[in-house]
Amino acid sequence: MIIEQIYTGCLSQGSYYIESRGEAALIDPLREVQPYLNKAAKGGAHFKYIFETHFHADFVSGHLTLSKETGAPIVFGPQAETEFQALIAEDGQEFSLGDLKIIVLHTPGHTLESTCYLLRDSFGKDIALFTGDTLFLGDVGRPDLAQNQDESAEDLAGILYDSLRTKIMPLDDDVLIYPAHGAGSACGKNMTKGTVDLLGNQKLTNYALRSDMSREEFVKEVTDGLLPPPVYFPLNVQLNKSGYEDVNEVLDRGNRALNPNDFEAFSNQIGALILDVRHQSDFAKGHIPQSIFIGLDGSFAPWVGALISDLKQPILLVCPEGREEEAITRLSRVGFDHTMGYLDGSFSAWKSAGKEYDTVNGLSAKDVARKRVLESLPVFDVRKKSEYVSEHVKDAYNTPLDYINDYLNVFPSEKSFYLHCAGGYRSMMAASLLKKRGIHNMIDVRGGLAALKTTEIPLTESICPSKLK
């Protein structure tokens, strides 16, 4: 028996490969399926089933491509409705996989079709539970993502309460919990950093599994403090329900090298968004005017989904050389399939061609600490509200990156201002978006709050995030 968690940090997402006696199953596959095919081939196994825990909102699943490549049926839980052929399982239905059994546990609440899969060994012992977005480590799935508008978030939270207590909590404490996401995902609020745990430990540590918790308490705690979901979530759900283009076609279209002249002309011709995915320090030193920055070496795909509203937007890439296919692939994971090419030779080719370029002004935290006393410039903090409330520079304004378009009239139009986040990644994204909208007078604080905390700049008293509920 093989159980392998395939974790993708960018999406904080876990897929699961299960193999027994030459038969394999995949739970919640990512869009690019070749690694799964390679894994099965290496073990001499064939895919028997592809299980989906629900219609994912934060990424485009690889179920259709994997089924096409292997002939394995796609299995969803009860109440799922698809526009393609799928096996809609019944609650309690068993699927054989070599010596193993996989049992369907319908656990609505996150969404109405949400389903967990219980793995049972040849001796009849429950080994592991693949919980999707029903149960995370330290948290549960947010109940406000269902496409059916007949149920409110509070209604679904109540349904989730019942699912947890009737289907999951009665299981043995030594059952391993394998969730679909870990810390960093927008599908929950308070996930811990681990990616696997014993159910018994979750019963002790996860607020949502308290044995003495009433339904009313659960609903209040689960729905309290929920921020609006990213705008791309419902679009990804629809792709997962209706179907999508093969990822190989997406790669073929996007993997097109363009010299600086062709890149510039093509961008103007198709109205492309120029997306620069290099490191933030490289972007600051020089970038194509009107381009936006979302670096590959961060939470790339979720930020793309949060900051680019149109899935059909034509995109041209500026990448670190050799990482072009990676960028195209990671864009496709969240449904952005219209990458039309990339700048051959990266930004250095653009600069060598004598093309116009822009920069982002920045200062070290120590220089900011020295200059701010003299200049009295305003400070804008683009971290999440919860981060800001926990600790921030005194008198700083909070303009969260996720909603920066709502704050455009807050930023000074002429006077310079400081811009920072936790470490420098998000503030550079914010700077690029502001510059695209004609605001150029920001000074990026290199190293963000982490660096500012090493200076004499006054901060508010630090508050543990757990005490902010």
Host domain of residue 457: 362-468
The encoded tokens of residue 263 equal: 């890149």
- Name, in order, each residue with C-beta under 8 angstroms of 364's C-beta and a sequence gap of 6 or more: 446, 447, 451
Both 278 and 229 in a single domain? Answer: no
In a domain, 335, yes or no: yes
pLDDT recorded at residue 468: 43
pLDDT score at 352: 98
Domain boundary among 186, 217, 235: 235
d(CA 148, CA 127): 33
**Alpha-carbon distance values, 61 to 23, 40, 50, 174 (Å):** 21, 18, 11, 30
168 Cβ contact list (under 8 Å, min separation 6):
105, 107, 116, 129, 131, 134, 135, 199
CA angle at residue 255 from 8 to 181, to 5 degrees? 15
Strand order in the sheet with 273-276: 257-258, 339-343, 315-318, 273-276, 292-293
- If asked whether residues 291 and 153 sit together in one domain, one would say no
Instruction: Specify the pLDDT at position 464.
Output: 58
The residues with which 106 forms a beta bridge, in sequence order, are 115
Helix axes 324-332, 247-254, angle to 10 degrees: 140
Q: Domain holding 168: CATH number?
A: 3.60.15.10
Domain end residue (candidates: 184, 210, 235): 235
Question: Of the residues 320, 352, 384, which one is the last residue of a structural domain?
Answer: 352
3-class DSSP state of 244? coil
Residue 247, C-beta contacts closer than 8 angstroms, at least 6 positions apart: 31, 32, 33, 62, 65, 329, 332
CA dist., res. 143 & res. 141, Å (int): 6
456: exposed, middle or buried (Cβ count in 10 Å: 0-12, 13-18, 19+): exposed
List beta partners, residue 115: 106
Q: How many domains does the chain have?
A: 3
* Alpha carbon distances (Å) from 155 to 212, 219, 252, 385: 20, 8, 44, 26
Q: Under a CB-based contact definition with an 8 Å cutoff, are residues 77 and 103 in contact?
A: no
Q: With contact defined as beta carbons under 8 Å apart, do 14 and 5 qualify?
A: yes
367 in the same domain as 258: no
The pTM assigned to this predicted structure is 0.89
Q: Are residues 194 and 267 in the same domain?
A: no
Give me the DSSP letters along 394-446: TTPEE--GGGGGGGTTTS-SSS-EEEE-SSSHHHHHHHHHHHHTT---EEEEE
- Residue 55: closest CA among 316, 243, 215: 243
The CATH number of the domain where 271 resides is what? 3.40.250.10
Amino acid making up residue 452: L
Beta strands 315-318 and 417-420, pairing class: unpaired
Query: Is residue 240 in some structural domain?
Result: no
CA 48/CA 40 separation, integer angstroms:
11
Do 260 and 183 fall into the same domain?
Answer: no
Is position 347 within any domain? yes
The answer to whether residue 300 sits within a structural domain is: yes
| Statement to judge: residues 121 and 191 lie in one domain | yes
DSSP characters for 135-170?
Answer: EETTEE--S---S-TTS-HHHHHHHHHHHIIIIITT
Place of tokens 């909208």: 437
Q: Mark whether 302 and 156 lie in a shared domain.
A: no
460 and 390, same domain (yes or no): yes
Q: Is the same domain home to 58 and 189?
A: yes
Distance CA 63, CA 72 (A): 9
Closest CA to 168 of 143, 220, 133, 219: 133
Residues 73 and 189 placed together within one structural domain of the fold: yes
Given a cut of 50, the residues of the chain with pLDDT beneath it are: 465, 467-469
3-state secondary structure of 272: coil
Same domain, 80 and 114: yes
Quick one: tokens of 53?
């825990």
Residues 162 and 222 in one domain: yes
No. of helices (H) and no. of strands (E), the chain: 16, 24
Residues 49, 24: Cα–Cα separation, whole Å: 7
Residue 308 lies in a domain: yes
- Longest CA–CA separation in the chain, Å: 74
- Residue 357 belongs to a domain: no
